[in-house]
Amino acid sequence: MSDATPPPVLPDRLDVDEVVVLDFGGQYSQLIARRVRECGVFSELLPHHVGAAEVRRRAPRGVILSGGPASVYADGAPALERELLELGVPVLGICYGMQLLAHELGARVEAADVGEYGRSELTVVEHGRLLAGQPETQPVWMSHRDTVYTAPPGAVALASSTASPVAAFEDVERGIYGIQYHPEVVHTPYGQQTLMTFLRDVCGCAMDWSAANIAEEQIRLIREQVGDGRIVCGLSGGVDSSVAALLVHRAVGDQLTCVYVDHGMMRKDESEQVRRTFSEHFHVPLVVVDARERFLSRLAGVTEPEAKRKIIGGEFIRVFEEEAARLVAGGADPGSGPEGTTVEVAGDVPAGPADPGARFLVQGTLYSDVIESGGGNGAATIKSHHNVGGLPDDLTFELVEPLRALFKDEVRAVGTEIGLPERMVWRQPFPGPGLGIRIVGGEITEAKLALLRECDAILQEEIRAAGLYRELWQSFCVLPDVRTVGVQGDERTYGHVVAIRAVTSDDAMTADWARLPYDLLDRIAGRMVGEVREINRVVLDITSKPPGTIEWE
Ligand code: XMP
C-alpha cells in the first residue's frame, strides 16, 4: 500500500453509515472490510498512518484496527494515536489491533514462549456486549506470538484461549473492544456474528449497504457527474466492464457508446454473446470493431510469449483509441473502421462532435485496485498514436468509475441486481490477450485458434454441467505446438495435444490444481478426441502456483 491517503471512494454527501478499518499490515485486512460490508455496513480500508484527523473527517460510526506483523513494544512499531480513542465512536482491535489497545491502555503484552497459529479454542468467561449470545466454547483462528496477559485497567476480560490468557476484552464505557482471534476468516464460525454485534449493537449502524442501494446510488452519482456529456466505454465481456457499462446506461441512456474490439482471440461464441446481451437485450449503443485480421497479421511469425503479449496489448489500445477518437469526433461510421478493421454499429450512437469539456471514459476500476494504487486522480489521457480525424494528438477524458467503491463480490451482486445474465456475472477471469497466450511454443494461426476454441467449449460445457464452474477460479485449454502419434479407427494419426488447466484460487496470487473427478476428465477427453478431428491426445496439468503460473505463457 502506498503512503498516500486515499480520497474517499464515496462522496461525503452520501448518507451511508461507514466503519473505517485501519490497516496495520495484516494479511487479512482487506477481508475485514469485505466482511463488514457483508454485514450491511459500508467500510473503507485505510493505511494506519492516515491519522486520527482524517478518520474524524470521514465521520465513521466505528473504527476497526486490523492485525499486523509488528510487536507493539518494538522500536518503530506502528503506534496508536490517542485521539482515535477520543472520536466518540467505538473501536475494535483485532489481533495486533487488540495488542495495541491493550499496550496503550497499560495492560501487559509480551511474547509468549509458544505462538498460537491456526485453529484454537476460545473459552468465554463473561459474554459482555461483544460476545452476547455466543457459545461458551468455540473454535477460533489465531495467528500470533505476542500475547495479552491482563485486560487493561477498567476493562473486562471476556475470554481466554488455548494459549492466550486474555483473548477478548471490552470496556463498554470507553467504547473499547479487543479480540485476539480473526473473526474475518471462515475458520472462526462465530466471527461474523461478533462483527455483526459490534456493528449493529455497539456502533448502532443502520445496516443498509446492499446491492440494490449501491446500484441506485451509483446511477444517481453518474448522472450528477456527466450531465449531458458523451461517454465511451470499452467492453471486454468480463463482469467488471459489463456491470460498469450497464450502470452508466441506466444512468444516462444513449449518451453512452460501448466499444467492443474483437481481436479474434476470444472463446467460442463470446463476441456474439456480448453483442446479443448489450445490443439486443439491453439496447446499449454498441460499436463492434472487427479487428481479427489486423491482429493476426501483426502476430504472424511471432512465437515469443512476451512479444505476443506486447503486440496484442499494444494493438488493442491503439484500436480502441482510434475508435474512441472517431466517436468523439463525429459519431460512429459503420463499415470503415481503424486501419485493418471493419466496424458494425448497433443502436443510436450520437452523431456530431462531442463537447471537448464533456467527454467521459468508463473504467471498471474496483476498490481493490484503489487500495493497491493508494488513490488515483480520476483523469485519463489517452495518447493517440495516429492523428485521427484532425483531432489533437492527446485526447483527454474524465474517468467515470462506478465500481470504484466496490469489491468483486459486490460487483457481481450489483450485476445480478441490474439484470446482467448469470453467465456474464459469474464468468471466470479471462486474460486480455485471450487464447493468444494459450497457443504456446508456436505461431498463432486461425486454424490453431479454431481448434483451441472447440476444445475449450467442450471443457466449459462439461465443467458447467458438472456444477463445478463457480468453484474453479479458472478452467481452460492450452494448445502446445506438439504433435503426437495416435491410433483412431485402425489408422495411425499424427495429431495435436491439448492440455486441460483447472485451478482453485482466491486471488490468483497462489493457486492449486483442481482435483476434477476422473469420470468428468474421462468424458472431456473422450469428447475432445471424438469431436475435434485434429486432436488425438489430452493431458492434465497438475502444477500448482507456485511453482507454475496459472497461464502457460
Ligand atoms: P498467471 O498466469 O500469472 O496469471 O498465474 C494470474 C492471473 O492473471 C491472468 N492473466 C492476465 N490477465 N492480461 C490479463 O488481463 C494478461 O496479460 C494476463 N496474464 C495472465 C490469468 O488468467 C490469471 O487469472
Residue to probe by mutation, ligand 1, list 551, 552, 553, most atoms within 8 Å of CB: 551
Q: Does residue 553 line the site of ligand 1, with CB under 6 A? A: no
Annotated catalytic residue: which of 18, 104, 116, 184? Answer: 184
Q: Could you tell me the pLDDT band of residue 182, with boundaries at 50, 70 and 90?
A: very high
Per-residue pLDDT at 74: 93
| 127 is annotated as an active-site residue | no
Please tell me the distance between residue 550's alpha carbon and the centre of ligand 1 in angstroms. 7
pLDDT digit string (tens) for 380-433?
Answer: 666 544 434 444 456 688 999 999 999 999 999 999 999 999 999 999 999 999
Please tell me the distance between residue 431's alpha carbon and the centre of ligand 1 in angstroms. 5
| 3-class DSSP state of 418 | coil
Annotated catalytic residue: which of 103, 144, 182, 263? Answer: 182
pLDDT at 328 over 90: no
Q: What percent of the chain has pLDDT over 90?
A: 83
Say how far apart CA 338 and CA 348 lie, in whole Å.
20
Query: Mean pLDDT over residues 328-335, rounded?
Result: 77
Q: Does residue 429 line the site of ligand 1, with CB under 6 A? A: yes
Q: How far apart are the first and last CA of the chain?
A: 28
Say how far apart CA 8 and CA 378 lie, in whole Å.
12
347 vs 427, higher pLDDT: 427
Q: Of all protein residues, whose CA lies closest to atom 12 belonging to ligand 1?
A: 431
Hey, where are the domains in the chain? Answer: 18-202, 211-425, 440-540
Q: Of all protein residues, whose CA lies closest to atom 19 belonging to ligand 1?
A: 431
Please tell me the distance between residue 265's alpha carbon and the centre of ligand 1 in angstroms. 15
Matching CATH number, 440-540, of 3.40.640.10, 3.10.310.10, 3.30.465.10, 3.30.300.10:
3.30.300.10
Annotated catalytic residue: which of 39, 95, 205, 233? Answer: 95
Say how far apart CA 358 and CA 469 lie, in whole Å.
41
Cβ–Cβ under 8 Å, residues 537 and 486: yes
Cell 449502524 -> residue? 205
167 vs 329, higher pLDDT: 167
Please tell me the distance between residue 525's alpha carbon and the centre of ligand 1 in angstroms. 25
Name 5's Cβ contacts closer than 8 Å, sequence gap at least 6: 46, 47, 50, 54, 375
Say how far apart CA 491 and CA 350 lie, in whole Å.
60
Q: Does residue 548 line the site of ligand 1, with CB under 6 A? A: no
Residue to probe by mutation, ligand 1, list 550, 552, 553, most atoms within 8 Å of CB: 550
Q: Where are the beta strands (DSSP E) in 166-280?
A: 168-171, 176-179, 230-235, 256-262
Q: Does residue 508 line the site of ligand 1, with CB under 6 A? A: yes
Residue 343: Cβ within 10 Å count: 19
Q: Could you tell me the pLDDT band of residue 8, with boundaries at 50, 70 and 90?
A: confident
Q: Does residue 431 line the site of ligand 1, with CB under 6 A? A: yes
Q: Of all protein residues, whose CA lies closest to atom 18 belonging to ligand 1?
A: 431
Matching CATH number, 211-425, of 3.40.50.620, 3.40.50.300, 3.30.70.141, 3.30.390.30:
3.40.50.620
Q: In the numeric block, which cell numbers belong to residue 549? A: 503460473
Query: Mean pLDDT over residues 284-298, rounded?
Result: 96
Cβ–Cβ under 8 Å, residues 477 and 450: no
Per-residue pLDDT at 66: 97
Q: Of all protein residues, whose CA lies closest to atom 14 belonging to ligand 1?
A: 431
Chain CA centroid to CA 293, Å? 32
Q: Does residue 227 line the site of ligand 1, with CB under 6 A? A: no
Q: Does residue 474 line the site of ligand 1, with CB under 6 A? A: yes
| 95 is annotated as an active-site residue | yes
Per-residue pLDDT at 80: 94
433 Cα nearest atom in ligand 1: 17
553 Cα nearest atom in ligand 1: 2
Query: Mean pLDDT over residues 305-309, rounded?
Result: 94
Lowest mean pLDDT among 23-37, 232-246, 387-401, 427-441: 387-401
- Whether residue 305 is preceded by a cis peptide bond, meaning omega within 30 degrees of 0, is no
Please tell me the distance between residue 473's alpha carbon and the centre of ligand 1 in angstroms. 12
Q: What percent of the chain has pLDDT over 70?
A: 95
Domain 18-202 and domain 440-540, same fold? Reply is no
| 81 is annotated as an active-site residue | no
pLDDT digit string (tens) for 240-282?
Answer: 999 999 999 999 999 999 999 999 999 999 999 999 999 999 9
Query: Mean pLDDT over residues 298-306, rounded?
Result: 96
Please tell me the distance between residue 385's alpha carbon and the centre of ligand 1 in angstroms. 26
Q: Of all protein residues, whose CA lies closest to atom 20 belonging to ligand 1?
A: 431
Query: Mean pLDDT over residues 306-325, rounded?
Result: 93
Say how far apart CA 171 and CA 105 lie, in whole Å.
11
pLDDT at 134 over 70: yes
pLDDT at 5 over 90: no
Give the CA angle between residues 488, 489, 495 to the nearest 5°. 25
pLDDT digit string (tens) for 72-128?
Answer: 999 999 999 999 999 999 999 999 999 999 999 999 999 999 899 999 999 999 999
Q: Of all protein residues, whose CA lies closest to atom 4 belonging to ligand 1?
A: 550
Please tell me the distance between residue 147's alpha carbon and the centre of ligand 1 in angstroms. 40
Structurally, what CATH architecture does the domain formed by 18-202 represent?
3-Layer(aba) Sandwich (3.40)
* Mean pLDDT over the full length of the chain: 92
Query: Mean pLDDT over residues 9-23, rounded?
Result: 83
Per-residue pLDDT at 10: 76
Lowest mean pLDDT among 56-60, 367-371, 461-465: 367-371
